[in-house]
Amino acid sequence: MKFVTVKHREKELPGVLSSDEEGVYSFEEIFGKEAPNSLLNLIQQNGKNAEVNSEIIKDSPMGNQSIEKIRRFISDPENIPIPLDQCDILAPIPRPLRNVICLGMNYQDHVKELKGADGKPRPVPEVPVYFGKMASEIIGTGGIIELHEETTNSVDYEVELVAVIGKGGRNIPAEKAYDHIFGYTIMNDVTARDLQGRHQQFIRGKSLDTFTTMGPAILYVDAVDEPVELDLSCEVNGEERQSSNTRNFIFDLPYVISDFSKGTTLQAGDLIATGTPGGVGKGFTPPKYLKRGDKVICKIEKIGNLWNKVEE
């Protein structure tokens, strides 16, 4: 299943894609008056029920009846979805619970291409490099990336797999980490490299408006085998710049979820971005930063394509 948020007839609707991905079943259709008002709300309700219910429903890792109700509804041929071509696809979670939890330098080839201020290669991190990315409004596929030319002249792209937390917890054992995931989506971690370097940390250069793009959907967790090994890539104007597989993580998802949750409570709806592989614009000589009119497509196997244009 792929969960989406769309705008239809000027109304924001959370829902689920049809099997052919040409239509969307809204939560209003599926649940009626008790419909969650957002995908984040569904995830939070689902997570609360999972925390108090130790009985795991078959084929429903979160252990919640709402998932089974969705499955039954979308498998009934009498239920007709809203045509997707009548909708605008938004980010699955347009307004996140809190800052996106990000992981820096989690692929060795990316570490190698990002040299230090002295021009020498950076060492491979011995512990995860965490930072937060402020995103009060996440833009979806088809959204416009602003260049903020009054503030930066080095806007870069980064394709990343995002794990969406489905069940909260603290001090989560690594072997239980996948039980806490609701699903996966794609993020373009747009970055102002000059700001990132000037301030010697990440949040400023990562948090300009429109610098978080996400989607097109959240793929439900049971559609991905464990451990997660998905191809991911990024192309700019048809030129492939990044290509790798999540098996190349330096720190894998179970480790990251377990490590970050030590003393810190993860909440249902939290977004964990897992880092980007080599091939970012800064890594080229000369750098290949984004410019007006560029089209960026971030792809991850099974999830789909997240595309955005840079402002003209």
Tens-digit pLDDT profile for residues 127-169 = 999 999 999 899 999 999 999 999 999 999 999 999 999 999 9
Confidence of residue 50 (pLDDT cuts 50, 70, 90): low
Tens-digit pLDDT profile for residues 55-69 = 333 333 444 789 999
For residues 306, 309, 310, 312, the Cα torsion angle rounded to the nearest 10 degrees is: -170
Tens-digit pLDDT profile for residues 287-306 = 999 999 999 999 999 999 99
d(CA 196, CA 106): 17
100-310 to CATH, choices 3.90.850.10, 3.40.309.10, 1.10.760.10, 3.40.190.290: 3.90.850.10
| Mean pLDDT, residues 34-49 | 91
CATH 3.90.850.10-classified regions of the chain: 100-310
Q: Which residues contact 139 (CB under 8 A, 6 or more apart)?
A: 91, 145, 210, 212, 213, 214, 308
pTM summary value: 0.94
d(CA 220, CA 303): 9
- The b-or-e profile of 228-257 (16+ CB within 10 A means b, else e) is bebebbbbbeeeebbebbbebbbbbbbebb
